[in-house]
């Protein structure tokens, strides 16, 4: 299973990963639209991202959420009807939504943020 692994102890709270993610998928530098979330209001810093646990797959009423060959949980935008039931069942609060957007979104372990992280706090791992 391919997953984005986080090392919060190395994180320097620069939020570059959030910029990278939202810019890539929403063409907008906006942390609210990033699949990875850096919470640094309290210490230690928390890095929240999907661990590909698949809980959301069974909850989806339209079968829009599936697991690809690499074990990554994917959302089909054409099948998704935006009900957000997947957001409610996510045990790690990593299924993301922005009210007003049509679909939820999540980390698909693409690795873009790994490349831009200046602190080596992220890596793509095979579990």
Partner 1 sequence: MNRKVLAEYNYTLKPVVKGYNRRTLYVNVGSKEIKEKPVTDMMIDKFVGGKGFDLYLMWHGVKDNTKWNDPENEICISFGPLCGNTSYPGSGKSIVTTISPLTGIPVDCNVGGHFGPYTKFAGFDALELQGKAEEDVIVYIDGDSGVVKIMTAPDERINSHILAEELIKEFADGEGKEQFVSVVSSGEAANNVLITCLNFSFWDKRRKVARLKQAGRGGTGTVFRDKGIKALVVKYSGLKVDTNNPVDLPTLQKTGLKLHKEIEAGDADQCRMHQVGTAHLMEIMNDYDLLPIRNFKYGQMPEAESLHSREFTKLFTQGMADGCWYGCSLSCCKAVDHFKPRTGPYKGQPVCVDGPEYETAAGCGSNICAWDPKDVVEINFYCDTYGVDTISFGTSVAFVMECYENGILNKERTGGLDLSWGNTDAALELLHQMAKGEGFGVIVGQGVRRMKKIFAEEFGADPQFLQDIGMEAKGLEYSQYMSKESLAQQGGYTLALKGPQHDEAWLIFMDMVNNHIPTFKDKAEALHYFPMFRTWFGLQGLCKLPWNDIEPANNAQTDEPAKVPEHVQNYVDIYKAITGKPMDKHELIRQSERVYNFQKVFCMRMGGGRRIDDIPPYRAVGPVTEEEYLSRQDRYDNLLKDKIGVDPEGKSVAEKMDITRKYREDQYQQLVDAVYERKGWTKDGVPTLEHLKSIGMDLPEVLDVVKRFL
| Residues paired with residue 41 on neighbouring β-strands, in sequence order | none
Nearest to 62 by CA among 85, 40, 45: 85
The answer to whether 109 touches 3, Cβ cutoff 8 Å, is: yes
Judged by CB under 8 A, which stretch of 14-22, 23-31, 36-44, 56-64 contacts partner 1? 56-64
Judged by CB under 8 A, which stretch of 3-11, 35-43, 77-85, 114-122 contacts partner 1? 77-85
Total residues contacting partner 1 (rule CB under 8 A)? 19
Does 76 interact with partner 1 (rule: CB under 8 A)? no
Does 97 interact with partner 1 (rule: CB under 8 A)? yes
Does 59 interact with partner 1 (rule: CB under 8 A)? yes
The answer to whether 104 touches 86, Cβ cutoff 8 Å, is: yes
Rounded to an integer, what distance in angstroms lies between the CA atom of residue 99 and that of residue 95? Answer: 13
Rounded to an integer, what distance in angstroms lies between the CA atom of residue 121 and that of residue 12? Answer: 8
Closer to partner 1 by CB, 30 or 45: give it: 30
Binding site for partner 1 (CB under 8 A): 58-63, 81-85, 87-89, 97, 99-100, 102-103
């Amino acid at each position: 299973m391919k997953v984005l692994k986080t090392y919060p102890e190395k994180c320097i709270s620069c939020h570059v990963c959030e910029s990278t993610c939202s810019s890539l998928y929403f063409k907008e530098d906006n942390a609210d639209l990033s699949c990875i979330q850096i919470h640094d209001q309290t210490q230690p810093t928390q890095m929240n991202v999907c661990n590909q646990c698949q809980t959301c797959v069974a909850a989806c009423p339209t079968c829009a959420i599936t697991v690809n060959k690499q074990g990554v949980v994917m959302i089909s935008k054409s099948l998704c009807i935006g009900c957000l039931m997947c957001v409610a069942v996510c045990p790690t609060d990593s299924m993301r939504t922005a009210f007003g957007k049509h679909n939820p979104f999540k980390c698909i372990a693409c690795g873009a943020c790994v490349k831009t992280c200046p602190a080596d706090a992220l890596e793509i791992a095979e579990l």
